[in-house]
């Protein structure tokens, strides 16, 4: 019998908040105070931010609570949530992060998990995203108004949380270790289906498995066999929960072969984290190239460029759009006639419908992080590079960003 991945059913989930924006939080019974919302993350300022929810839990049923968060500092205690009421009968159940040590402290609950792993003394560091689960918690809310609070110590509103929270889920029973692990692993790698009636993946290069590879190696695409990639001086780097490709800005490159000419309607996707503007001249730091199609960086205007017929006709992201030492999701849609549109972190960026030149078939193999001669080296991290035949819609682009941003942001 094959192994069956098991996760809790939807009926087990009795409360969920994904912090898409203030409107969605209010529709879910939340009343935010001094909380900012940015692309699915609620940001708490550590001094006055909180969200009151009117969701009530009565009795002592065994629950599981899951929260995904990032802490900005450890200078003071920071409460993640508190079920106790400020009026009426007190409830029970809370969790906070201890000052200095970063140890997570809970009231009630039989087990704790950090990033899908059972942990008797979970401890965190700042500026890193964590998935924290408490199971077997006999929590109950008080009888006062808005008894479930996020971001502060409820009884006297102190010990404020500073950082981001992107998910809270409450389940009506104690989840098993397998369920917690599968929830975490599913949230790490589950992405929207990219093969649709109008889209077909033709390249997917990443180091997610610990070894750089093209997902389609060994397959036939466009009548051509997809070869194994050839790695030159690129290191696999683990950052948080993901393994990514580290390019040295000198000789690193990944050769994916020449099985597809990259003409026609295409969409290019890449999660990138540049450390500098890399190697080369005014137009340098190639992230994807077959010498005719090139995605790279222009240092003088701190922006990305894209061409379809060599370095002649350029499409650009907005000036100042490159962010050094931070991940960005780059998506470029390019028609068969060369009309290109940039999207960064799910949103249109730069002038719409720019010409990138009439697409020309590649004159070098497809390379990641450089060109064939290793003279336009990218310096930094590239987590994944995908090329699709077809044009993603703005809605599909936004959905893809929303489903993957927690790995990088």
Q: How many domains does the chain have?
A: 2
List beta partners, residue 329. 271
Q: Which residues does 234 contact at the CB level (< 8 Å), separation at least 6?
A: 212, 245, 246, 247, 248, 252, 253, 254, 369
Same structural domain, 262 and 320: yes
Residue 313 lies in a domain: yes
The C-alpha angle with vertex 294 and arms to 272 and 39, in degrees rounded to 5, equals: 30
Same structural domain, 212 and 164: no
Same structural domain, 236 and 173: no
Is 70 exceeded by the pLDDT of residue 58?
no
Q: Which residues does 138 contact at the CB level (< 8 Å), separation at least 6?
A: 60, 61, 62, 63, 92, 93, 108
Across the chain, how many H-helices and E-strands are there? 3, 32
Residue 100 lies in a domain: yes
Residue 90 lies in a domain: yes
Give pLDDT tens digits for 328-343: 999 999 999 999 999 9
Same structural domain, 225 and 156: no
Closest CA to 21 of 45, 51, 57, 58: 51
In angstroms, the CA 363 to CA 291 distance is: 6
pTM above 0.75, yes or no: no
Q: How far is CA 190 from the centre of its chain?
A: 11
Half-sphere exposure of 398 (CA within 13 A, CB side): 8
Q: What is the CA radius of gyration of the chain?
A: 24
Same structural domain, 148 and 229: no
Stretch 16-27: mean pLDDT, rounded?
88
Give pLDDT tens digits for 123-165: 999 988 899 999 887 666 555 544 688 999 876 678 899 999 9
Same structural domain, 137 and 285: no
In angstroms, the CA 139 to CA 266 distance is: 51
Say how many residues make up the chain.
409
Contact between residue 383 and residue 264 where contact means Cβ atoms under 8 Å apart: no
Contact between residue 401 and residue 409 where contact means Cβ atoms under 8 Å apart: no
Same structural domain, 344 and 272: yes
In angstroms, the CA 229 to CA 246 distance is: 15
Higher pLDDT, 398 or 33: 33
Residue 391 lies in a domain: yes
Res 189: pLDDT: 47
- Write out the two tokens for 298: 């222009």
Half-sphere exposure of 365 (CA within 13 A, CB side): 17
Residue 194 lies in a domain: no
Single residue among 189, 218, 245 that ends a domain in this structure: 189
The band of 403, judged by pLDDT with boundaries at 50, 70 and 90, is: confident
Res 5: pLDDT: 37
Task: Read off the CATH number of the domain in which 72 is found.
Answer: 2.60.120.200
Closest CA to 105 of 114, 113, 96: 96
Is 70 exceeded by the pLDDT of residue 79?
yes
Same structural domain, 66 and 173: yes
Is 70 exceeded by the pLDDT of residue 377?
yes
Is 70 exceeded by the pLDDT of residue 65?
yes
* Structural domain harbouring 179: 10-189
Res 2: pLDDT: 31
Residue 349 lies in a domain: yes
Residue 66 lies in a domain: yes
Single residue among 155, 189, 223 that ends a domain in this structure: 189
Is 80 exceeded by the pLDDT of residue 60?
no
Closest CA to 368 of 218, 214, 199: 214
Same structural domain, 178 and 284: no
Same structural domain, 293 and 343: yes
- Lowest average pLDDT, out of 187-196, 203-212, 261-270, 330-339, goes to 187-196
Instruction: State the chain's mean pLDDT as an integer.
Output: 87
Torsion of CA 172, 173, 174, 177, to 10 degrees: -80
In angstroms, the CA 57 to CA 291 distance is: 61
Same structural domain, 114 and 221: no
Residue 295 lies in a domain: yes
Same structural domain, 153 and 223: no
Stretch 182-196: mean pLDDT, rounded?
67
Single residue among 154, 189, 224 that ends a domain in this structure: 189
């Amino acid at each position: 019998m094959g192994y069956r991945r098991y996760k809790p059913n939807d009926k087990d989930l009795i409360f969920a908040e994904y912090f898409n924006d203030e409107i969605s939080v209010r529709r879910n019974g939340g009343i935010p105070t001094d909380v900012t919302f940015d692309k699915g993350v609620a940001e708490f300022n550590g001094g006055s931010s909180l969200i009151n929810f009117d969701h009530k839990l009565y009795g002592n049923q065994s629950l599981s609570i899951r929260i995904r968060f990032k802490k900005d500092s450890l200078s003071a205690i920071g409460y993640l949530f508190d079920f106790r009421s400020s009026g009426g009968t007190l409830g029970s159940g809370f969790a906070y992060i201890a000052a200095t040590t970063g140890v997570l402290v809970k009231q009630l609950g039989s087990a704790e998990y950090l990033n899908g792993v059972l942990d008797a003394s979970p401890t965190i560091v700042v500026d890193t995203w964590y998935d924290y689960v408490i199971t077997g918690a006999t929590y109950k809310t008080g009888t006062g108004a808005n008894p479930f609070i996020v971001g502060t110590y409820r009884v006297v509103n102190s010990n404020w949380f500073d950082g981001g929270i992107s998910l809270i889920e409450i389940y009506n029973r104690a989840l098993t270790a397998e369920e917690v692990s599968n929830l975490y692993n599913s949230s790490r790698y589950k992405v929207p289906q990219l093969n649709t009636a109008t889209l077909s993946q033709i390249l997917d290069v990443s180091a997610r498995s610990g070894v750089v590879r093209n997902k389609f190696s060994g397959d036939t695409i466009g009548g051509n066999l997809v070869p194994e990639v050839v790695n030159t001086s690129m290191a696999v780097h683990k950052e948080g929960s993901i393994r990514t490709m580290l390019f040295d800005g000198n000789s690193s490159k990944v050769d994916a072969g020449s099985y597809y000419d990259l003409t026609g309607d295409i969409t290019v996707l890449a999660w990138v984290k540049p450390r500098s503007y890399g190697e080369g001249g005014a137009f340098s730091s190639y992230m994807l190239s077959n010498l005719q199609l090139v995605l790279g960086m222009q240092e003088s205007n701190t922006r990305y460029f894209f061409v379809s017929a060599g370095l002649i006709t350029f499409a650009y992201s907005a000036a100042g759009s490159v962010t050094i030492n931070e991940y960005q999701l780059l998506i470029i849609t390019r028609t068969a006639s060369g009309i290109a549109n940039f999207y960064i972190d799910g949103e249109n960026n730069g002038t719409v419908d720019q010409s990138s030149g009439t697409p020309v078939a590649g004159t070098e193999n497809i390379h990641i992080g450089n060109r064939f001669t290793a003279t336009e080296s990218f310096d930094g991290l590239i987590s994944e590079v995908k090329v699709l035949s077809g044009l993603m819609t703005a809605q599909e682009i936004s959905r893809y960003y929303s489903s993957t941003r927690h790995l990088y942001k």
